[in-house]
Chains A and B, each alone.
Chain A
Amino acid sequence: MDEDVRLMLAFRDGDQAAFDTLFERWAGRLLHFLERMVRNTAVAEELVQETFLRVHRAREGYQPQARFSTWLFTIGANAARNELRRPYRRAVHQGSDPESGGPLLQLVSPEPPSDQVVDARRLSQQVAEALEELPERQRAALWLCAVEGLSYAEVAEALEATEKSVKALVHRARVGLARTLPSTEAADAEPGAMQRTGAAK
């Protein structure tokens, strides 16, 4: 049984420590996802709380029908979608660092960074900005699939979509982001990844 499902069942049966463990295991990854979705650190933190509050409220009726991560990201994606559809949602701080939500100046350290570090930061910034430009559903589908490792079926459940549309969303998002990356990155990326390609999740 999925370890997280086991923890959730323990929490359902009254083990409060199991809830704490689930929070420790998943809050960071959920925050990372939600930051990419709502593009605002403070709002993403609120949505993490909201998501876990919902998990807490739902404990009594919890039935393990899917991986815990699928369920958690489904709740999180819904919360993000609601936030993005709010008529007067809080403005995204323009010019802020997409990684930390703080000002870009935070990237500057007393020691001059090496060229490699600068290149990595620049690439990271490029990717983050390109990700922000993607439509909401493409962004969510690609993140859940490529970063969180959810299957198309699981992403479809989280986004209330069909597997076919998830396949198209992920594809379009990848192609869209690929346009923004420097061509040298492609050849250098993840040596040995070819062997892993196509492996079932």
Chain B
Amino acid sequence: MGTEPPANLPALPAPPGSPGRAGDERSPEARWEAWEEALSAFLDGELGAREREQVCSALETTPQLAARLAELRAVDHALRQLPARPLPTDLRARLERLLEADRAASAEGRPRRGPAPLRPRTPRRARLWPAAALAAAAATLAVLLLPRLLPPPPRAVPVARTGPEAAGTGADLRMAKRDGPDELADVGEDLPVIAVLDVLEDLGDLDTMGTTGSG
């Protein structure tokens, strides 16, 4: 539902001391929306005495505003009519069990369990950034250091390209992986993955620890 705005809207209500909005240059749609907001505040009892009087006068002279006010009021009425579910009979007992556990933990100096921190938890995506950064650093180190740490491959048979243009290219690394000892090739492939998994596991442990709110 929705009342159409009239061609001539009255001036918007303005608090005392303000210049008023009689010379409002906004578009009719923007003025209608501003009026709707004023009507909403009027419904909530959030207008000052003078603004309330201005709204009452406008309601008498502009039927569209009165109709819109009725529509907005109907929303509140409908919300208040939404049936409330009865409180579960065991909810107080469940709370009491939580409170007992809380008291016991407090008496024994253990961290209190229960509700999550009041502070919004860090989104998972944000928590993964440090892990991603560490994994990237580990991968970079692996790429830089592995060729120095590993013994030279026993044979150097180019597999991708031959000839002078292949010298000093990735073909060397491919040769090392193919022809070198298996375990070295495995380390070279798995190191970043292991680093990522380790970091993720650490973060998972941290996350499940949680903290207690200030209450």
Q: Interface of A with B (CB < 8 Å)?
A: 20, 23, 27-29, 31-32, 35-36, 41, 45, 48-50, 52-58, 61, 75, 78-79, 81-83, 85-87, 99-101, 120, 123-124, 127-128, 131, 142-143, 145-147, 151-152, 167-168, 170-171, 174-175, 177-179, 181-183, 185-190, 193, 197-201
Contacts and interface: CB of A to CB of B under 8 A. Distances in A.
Nearest to A78: B118
Contacts of B87: 27-28, 31
A20 B75 CA distance: 34
B74 A53 contact: no
B78 A82 contact: no
Contacts, number: 185
A98 to B, nearest CB: 8
Nearest to A121: B83
A54 B74 contact: no
Nearest to A182: B1
B71 A186 contact: yes
Nearest to B88: A45
A183 B72 CA distance: 11
Given A23-B92, A50-B114, A87-B123, A181 B71 contact: yes
B79 A127 contact: yes
A168 B83 CA distance: 27
Which of the four size classes fits the interface of chain B? 35 or more
Given A54-B118, A75-B118, A131 B79 contact: yes
List the 5 closest A-B pairs by CB distance, nearest first.
A57-B215, A183-B1, A58-B215, A50-B115, A189-B74
Given A99-B83, A186-B71, A193-B73, A53 B115 contact: yes
Interface string B199-211: 0000000000000
Given A53-B98, A127-B78, 11 more contacts: A28-B84, A50-B114, A50-B115, A52-B95, A123-B81, A124-B82, A151-B45, A177-B78, A198-B42, A198-B43, A201-B45
Contacts of B74: 178, 181, 185-186, 188-190
A49 B40 CA distance: 33
B40 A171 contact: yes
A197 B92 CA distance: 37
A55 B118 CA distance: 12
B75 A174 contact: yes
Most chain-B CB neighbours within 10 Å: which of A27, A123, A171?
A171
A32 B71 contact: no
Interface in B40-88: 40-47, 52, 55-56, 67, 69-88
A53 B45 contact: no
Contacts of B46: 151-152, 167
20 contacts: A23-B92, A27-B91, A28-B87, A36-B82, A50-B116, A53-B98, A56-B99, A61-B215, A120-B81, A143-B79, A147-B80, A170-B40, A175-B40, A175-B72, A177-B75, A181-B75, A185-B1, A186-B67, A186-B74, A198-B42
